[in-house]
Amino acid sequence: MSINCIRTIIENAANSHSDKTAVCFKNNSITYAELLNKVNQVACYLQELDLPKDSRIGIYSNKGIDQVIAILAILSTDYVLVPLTTLLKPEQVEYIVEDCDIQCLITDKKHLESIAVINFAGKVISYDTAGKDIPSFEEIYKYYNKSYSCDINSYSNAVITYSFGLSGKPKGIVISHRSLIDSARVVSQYLGLDETDVISGTLIFNLDYGLNQLFCSLYKKATLALHRLILPDDFFNHLINDKVTVIPVMPVHISQMFDEDEHRLPTPELFTHVKTITSSGGNVTAKMIKDCKRTFPQAKFYSMHGLTEAFRSTYLDPSQVEIRPDSIGKAIADVELYVINEDGKECGPREVGELIHRGGYIYKGFWNAPEQNALRFKSVQILKDVINIEGQLTDEIVVATGDYVYKDEEGYFYFSSRQDDMIKTRGFRLSPLEVESVVDKNIPQINQCAVFGIDNEQIEEEVVMVYSAASKIPEKEIIFELKKHLASYMVPSRVIYKKSLPLMQNDKNQINKAVLKKELSVK
């Protein structure tokens, strides 16, 4: 079996740290030996389903120890994991199921009803006993006690994660076993993680950032303390009760943490055990850093910048966070970053251009999306006027990120804008077209509608919808309808009525969103 797969580090941890707590959640915990045993039981059952190699298996459930077991069991087979956030509505789950042809869904009792709504024809497995026709982990743990072994190729497909792309439909990015291991290695190295760490498992597992917390824990034989983020008070209690040392969050979580009366926040003395805070998935503000420094005085703050097409490009060293809080940092180990203009020439200091990612952590590509792949995954020839590629193989792939950045005189990168009009809110990326298409399909009274993002320091961008109709529709009615079809983070926070919408001069079928944004910013 390859040394570059998640299965190897599970076995290594169980062999060397069998009695150590691997995962805890609320009042429950599981050791590394127990974890490997249960993973083997579920993996054995999955293999007996006798699905074709590389079949996709989805996980659609709330967070818990069984969810971790399911993830690791799938990664111990020759199947491919597709994590699905419970924020998605049934019709969105149905789209992903059909897009990558999911053959089996693992879920909890709470979400069985949602799966029934989409008339899923594949195999369904529940964590808890839910009826004689649905196999459960409870039964698998009781009856499957065979030995289990597997042989996994590091370059095989391991995971497909979905995010919202330019087409308005979610696009799956394919990640290999090798990429999962490489990501755990590099993060563990620059964060200085070790086996004494307790890593907060607050992030959802449909994001590679969330999955990385699990894999870093396994890689360093640390403990992953799962938590479902609901209220700031609950989160602070989780940090105290689980003695968390590493807090991976998104900027929106930091805003939520400190969106309370300052006098109600726990005292810093309760958090001296917290040594590291990491943030990715959006811009970090000076206020966020100040709030974290005040409440977690011993913690080093790492601001990081990742891509859909590659695990991570940059991180900002904690020594620089207060000096240059707006910077996304410098390239991580094994990555080269270049900023090029429209002519393919390298940009000078403080000249804005497109960020090109070369080297490690590049994913395999988008699932069933040749146009998207052609847009983002480029031949190294794109850098022919920047680097010397004489004599090199020219089939090397780099990522044209679509992120527009600039670099200062000391080599630190700063984010400027995105190539497309994607909205980044609460740590998620979404396409305006996804929301607009739902409006078009479900609210026929609306003639035209434009969805876009407006800067909001607390959540990166807030989703705004401007529409035209014969007469104004009560905002509550629009929101009520959209909530039926969209994940909560996709529902507009502001809905504005106008008798008519401005159009582009060169295309009278296209709404001029720039004019609308300008009007709102003036107000």
Residue ranges per structural domain of the chain: 13-20+27-152, 425-522
| Pair 102, 51: CB distance under 8 Å | no
Neighbours of 323 (CB within 10 A): 10
- CA–CA gap between residue 331 and residue 337 (Å, rounded): 6
Q: Which CATH architecture has domain 425-522?
A: 2-Layer Sandwich (3.30)
- CA–CA gap between residue 347 and residue 409 (Å, rounded): 12
Cα–Cα distances in angstroms (integers) from residue 136 to residues 41, 101, 123, 132, 250, in the given order: 12, 22, 12, 9, 33
Going by C-alpha positions, the residue among 197, 200, 220, 226 that lies closest to residue 69 is 226
pLDDT at 67: 98
What phi and psi values does residue 115 have, to the nearest 5 degrees? Answer: -70, -35
What token pair was written down for 246? 């590493």
| Pair 129, 138: CB distance under 8 Å | yes
Helix axes 208-220, 65-74, angle to 10 degrees: 90
- CA–CA gap between residue 176 and residue 46 (Å, rounded): 20
> Each residue of 165-188: b (16+ CB within 10 Å) or e?
bbeebbbbbbbbbbbbbbbbbbbb
| Pair 225, 203: CB distance under 8 Å | no
Can you give the pLDDT of all 523 residues of the chain as single tens digits? 788 899 999 999 999 999 999 999 999 999 999 999 999 999 999 999 999 999 999 999 999 999 999 999 999 999 999 999 998 888 889 999 999 999 999 999 999 988 999 989 999 999 998 877 899 999 999 999 888 999 999 999 999 999 754 455 778 999 999 999 999 999 999 999 999 999 999 999 998 999 999 999 999 999 999 999 888 889 999 999 999 999 999 988 898 888 766 777 899 999 999 999 999 987 788 889 999 999 999 999 999 999 999 999 999 999 999 999 889 999 999 999 999 998 999 999 999 899 999 999 999 999 999 999 999 999 999 999 999 887 766 789 999 999 989 999 999 999 877 776 778 888 887 878 889 989 988 999 999 999 999 988 888 899 999 999 999 999 999 999 999 999 999 999 999 999 999 987 654 567 888 899 888 876 5
Cα–Cα distances in angstroms (integers) from residue 265 to residues 179, 201, 256, 259, 337, in the given order: 39, 21, 12, 10, 40
What token pair was written down for 67? 């969810």
- CA–CA gap between residue 161 and residue 122 (Å, rounded): 20
List the beta bridge partners of residue 175.
Answer: 159
Beta strands 314-316 and 300-305, pairing class: antiparallel
Domain 13-20+27-152 has CATH 3.40.50.980: yes
Going by C-alpha positions, the residue among 366, 498, 371, 490 that lies closest to residue 435 is 490
Amino acid at 385: D
| DSSP symbols for 193-260 | --TT-EEEE-S-TTSHHHHHHHHHHHHHT-EEEE-----HHHHHHHHHHTT--EEEE-HHHHHHHT-S
